[in-house]
Structure 1
Amino acid sequence: MNTSRTGSTAPPPRRSGRRLAGALLAGAVLLGAAGCGSPEAASGSGERKAGSPAGTTARTALAGLMKPVDSLPKPGPPVDTRAAAGKTVFYVPIALKVGHFPLVQKNLTTAFERVGVRLHSCDGQGTPSGISACLDQAVAQKPAAVITDYVPYELVPTTFEKVRASGIPVYVAGTAAPEGVRQSAAFAFGDPDAHGFTIMDGLADAVIADSDGAARVLFLKVMDSASTRRAADRAVEHFRKACPDCRVAVKEVGLSTMKDVPSLVSSALLTDPSITHVVPEYDTYLSAVVTGLQSVGRTRDVKIATTGATLATVQQLKSDDRLLAVVGVNPPYLGWTMADATLRMLAGEQPPATYPVLARAFTKDTVDGLALNPKDEASGRWFGDPAAYQDIFTGLWGARRPRRPHRSNSSGSPSPSGGSRPCAT
């Protein structure tokens, strides 16, 4: 596979805290969905391909990723959660109302209810000052533990250290530990690479399958964080290994240059009319890519694949012939893994370094079998039966039946008795 790259290959310049926080919102772990399919039906175009070795292998791999997940391995041994009952855990996502974070919050609340733990959510508002205000409030209110979500340690290191010094256990979800930072039962990280690499492999396989191993790809690599760069590199490497006859041109993009993406795409297509697929790393860039295609009249012959699979993106997949596949992870499941990690920390245990991956690929061949509505998006049913993981976790926690003292109402708003609620920052 031939690859070409534009933009500097040197390390990206140091970003201010505010720019880094804003950029990370574009690369957050996102929602995906799919249904069942045979290897022959795994091509996003719905056509059966001739069967090149690369195309056949990709269709087989993609078909496996399209299947609902009905079972998962246990992430660890049982944990004693009795001492956690009645305690409160703070949840501080980088931005509470953005992307998949409301789905994570809802499922964290449900999971903690099983063992009588309250969830108190605080909106980081996408800024270092907002995140620091939430963490400072945690220090003042002394919850049993704090969960941050997609907040890199490097963004607010002083505030993280303040929480650690207070003796409150901290689980840093959605980001890898920086070099030199030791993990323990009181300070642990949830590395996103296992999920990120899986969806990038699926993204590449969707394009290889659709082209029968002959794609000419424009790949948009998101440079906004270390995790987005690692994930993009994984996708390009998968193309290189799995598709020797594919050609991939890499363009570097970021949230701060979002306005330039349409012209970047149109320029690339004018320079190389042989491009068959444009692949933005995340669906955050989908609208900008479509605008670029429209500006050069290539909306009919160039296809798109991406990751994320929010409700809006999956609905677009159903109606837009340009979009051939979306691959994503299950935010409700992520909420349950965060609950498990936190409960283990409260029991004095270091949580697992990684949890089993729950990802799905979604193509036009499977969209008709899904209920595309907010309720099913929030439940995680697009990925299979939620009981596949809920029963595992509640069994490990010794809480097979839900407890109800802090249940949220049907609109997702906090009930008067407590539960999850935003805090002032």
Structure 2
Amino acid sequence: MTRGTGPLGPPRGAAAHRTRGVRARAAALALLLAAATLAGCERGAQDSPGVSPTGPGGCPAAQAGAQAAVSRAERTDVPWNGPAKGPAAVPGKTIVYVAQTMTNPGVAGVARGVREAAKVIGWKVRVIDGEGTPAGIQAALSQAVTLRPAGIVIGGFDPHSTSQQVARATAARIPLIGWHAVAAPGPSRSPRLFTNITTDVADVAAISAQWVIAHSRGNAGVVLFTDASIPFAHRKSELIRKALAACPGVRLLAYPNIPIPDASSRTPREVSFLLARFGNRWTHSVAINDLYFADAAPAFRAAGKEGSGPPFNIGAGDGDPSAFQRINSRQYQAATVPEPLSLQGWQIVDEFNRAFSGRPASGYVAPVHISTAENSEGATAWDPTGYREAYRRIWGR
């Protein structure tokens, strides 16, 4: 029997006051428990296996850092921060661009930049298409070595897959420059490359995840598309996954592994399955290449999803013209982290000029950029300013 209740009658004096305080605290505690239980039920409804809503300020430090980084990356008025000095143009050179496949918009975009820059510096360029197959790429690089050019570009494929041809080029003292050939920018010893041209994969991964955190205000359910058969792509997606984990309110719903050559056939089926499984809990997507969203669009459309999202999709990829078209028309892609393809073509020519002059590589790595419908102004590529004028001054052209 509890003191102050029951047949002993109502409490009086100090005892009565204490009892009323206990009852008030108990009532307040009961309300808090009820609210917590209700919140827990609501969270569980979304948590299995969806997003844990954190509400405003769910990860304030991560959100603030992400928003600041995204704002910097969205700027389009960034001044040229690449090399200002280097050797004058070495005349009369011929280089060969070996392309993984010219149907890859990134590879083709860099080839156009190489041709444009070579015309300015006064060189000849030959492009050999590997047509996207291991045998075709090996044959293309063999042909390039046989031509004995001044330099060869490894355009978008893993040099380890052409180790014999790379060894022949090295033995013939033909400098090799890669574009997306190895994981990191800069010179490479194994395989031996004078330098490799790419934005820093860690920076690309980080800004892609930060865009999701900032755009969602720290409350998102994310699908991350990757191709685990490509070490470079798998590393990128793992870095994205870890960066998303900086905000507890951002949950990774699914991590589909779809090889890029199979993307056109597998992505629509995978997207339909994920939409049926997660519904509105799927709010954002990140892909290691923009092309996944080209293949996903029909499935989103068939499910009645608006082109402007959700899900809001960002490509941590090349930033090819079709990606910009989807972004500018707000059709199932909201943003991309594009490579400055033309700039990188010019950089390849400049790096060869340094190699031919006995100089080291420049060490330049283009900063990451985010393109959206708001800042692209209808463009179909990210083409920053200042690099053409800078390289012309260096070369004396």
Q: TM-score, normalised by structure 2?
A: 0.75
Report matched runs for 1:162-181 at 5 Å: 162-176=168-182
Cα displacement string for residues 378-419 of structure 1 (whole angstroms, at most 9, x for unaligned residues): xxxx4432xx1223333333x1x3xxxxxxxxxxxxxxxxxx
- 1 or 2 for the larger relative contact order (CA 8 Å, sep ≥6)? 1
8 Å Cα contact 1:280-1:289 kept in structure 2: no
Residue 99 to residue 59, structure 1, CA distance change in 2 (3 Å)? same
Whether the 8 Å CA contact 2:177–2:195 is kept in 1: the answer is: yes
Contact 2:105 2:321 (C-alpha < 8 Å) held by counterparts: no
Return the match for 1:85 from 84, 87, 91.
91
Deviation of the 1:207 alpha carbon: 1.7
The aligned residue for residue 12 of structure 2 is none
Residue 75 (structure 1) shift: 4.0
Contact persistence 2:128–2:144 (CA under 8 A): no
The aligned counterpart of 2:9 is: none
Q: Distance in 1 between matches of 2:212 and 2:193?
A: 39
1:118-129 matched pairs, under 5 angstroms: 118-129=124-135
**CA 171–266 in structure 1, closer or farther in 2 if over 3 Å, else same:** same
Residue 110 of structure 2 corresponds to 104
Contact 1:218-1:279 within 8 A present in 2 as well = yes
1:244 maps to 2:252: no
2:333 alignment counterpart: 323
- Given residue 366 of structure 1, which amino acid in structure 2 is its aligned partner? N
Corresponding residue of 1:356: 365
Matched residue count: 334
1:135 aligns with 2:141: yes
Query: Any residues of structure 2 matched to 1:183-194 within 5 Å, and which?
Result: 187-190=193-196, 192=198, 194=199
Matched, 1:60 2:74: no
Farther off after superposition, 104-113 or 150-159: 104-113
CA change 1:59–1:321 in 2 (3 A) is farther
Q: For structure 1, which segment, 315-324 or 220-229, has the greater mean C-alpha deviation from structure 2 after superposition?
A: 315-324
Residue 225 of structure 1 and its aligned partner are, at CA, apart by: 1.2
- The 1:191/1:356 distance shift into structure 2, 3 A limit, reads closer
The aligned counterpart of 2:351 is 341
2:288 corresponding residue in structure 1: 281
SS at match of 2:152: strand
The amino acid of 2:374's aligned partner reads D
User: Post-superposition shift, 1:319?
Assistant: 2.3
- In 2, are the aligned partners of 1:183 and 1:189 still within 8 Å (CA)? no
Would the alpha carbon gap of residues 176 and 323 (structure 1) be closer, same or farther in structure 2, given more than 3 Å must change? closer
Give the alignment of 1:9-408 within 5 angstroms. 53=60, 54-75=62-83, 78-81=86-89, 84-176=90-182, 182=189, 187-190=193-196, 192=198, 194-241=199-246, 243-249=247-253, 250-258=255-263, 259-273=265-279, 274-299=281-306, 301-307=310-316, 308-320=318-330, 322-352=332-362, 354-367=363-376, 370-372=377-379, 377=381, 382-385=382-385, 388-397=386-395, 399=396, 401=397
Structure 1 residues 137 and 323 mapped into 2: Cα distance closer, same or farther (>3 Å)?
A: closer
CA contact (8 A) 2:84 2:390 kept: no
Distance in structure 2 (CA, Å) of the matches to 1:115 and 1:153? 27
Q: 1:114 to 1:206 in 2, by over 3 A?
A: same
Q: Is the contact made by 2:152 and 2:175 (CA closer than 8 Å) also made in structure 1? A: yes
Instruction: Please state how far the C-alpha of 1:371 moved relative to its aligned partner.
Output: 3.8
% identical aligned pairs: 21
What is residue 30 of structure 2 aligned with on the other side?
none
Deviates more, 1:219-228 or 1:302-311: 302-311
Gaps of 5+ in 1: 5-48, 402-425
Residues 36-88 of structure 1 show CA distances to partners (whole Å, capped at 9, x for unaligned) of xxxxxxxxxxxxx966624343222211111115323344852254xx30121
Determine the C-alpha separation between the residues in 1 that align with 2:260 and 2:82.
37
Which whole-Å CA distance do the structure 2 matches of 1:183 and 1:278 have between them? 34
| Aligned-residue offset at 1:202 | 2.4
CA-to-aligned-CA distance 1:185-221 (integer Å, 9 cap, x gap) = x8424063x4333332222222222211101111112
8 Å Cα contact 1:174-1:189 kept in structure 2: no
Give 1:62's aligned amino acid. V
Give the gaps of 5 or more residues in structure 2: 1-46, 48-54
Q: Give the CA deviation at 1:222.
A: 2.1
Q: Distance in 1 between matches of 2:226 and 2:378?
A: 31
Q: CA deviation at 1:91?
A: 1.3
Please state how far the C-alpha of 1:275 moved relative to its aligned partner.
2.0
Q: C-alpha separation between the residues in 1 aligned to 2:350 and 2:116?
A: 12
CA distance in 2, matches of 1:393, 1:183: 29
Contact 1:94–1:149, Cα closer than 8 Å, also in 2: yes
Give the partner amino acid of 1:79. Answer: P
Q: Choose between structure 1 and 2: higher helix proportion.
A: 2
Amino acid at match of 1:244: P
Partner of 2:24: none
Instruction: Determine which structure has more spread, i.e. the larger CA radius of gyration.
Output: 2
Distance 2:64 2:373 in 1: 18
Query: How well do the aligned residues superpose, as a CA RMSD in angstroms?
Result: 3.0
Deviation >6 Å, runs of 4+: none
Deviations 1:307-341 (A, max 9, x none): 34322222222323643222211100110121122
Structure 1 residues 302 and 107, CA gap change in structure 2 (3 angstroms): closer
Counterpart contact for 1:199–1:359, Cα < 8 Å? yes
Distance 1:361 1:58 in 2: 13
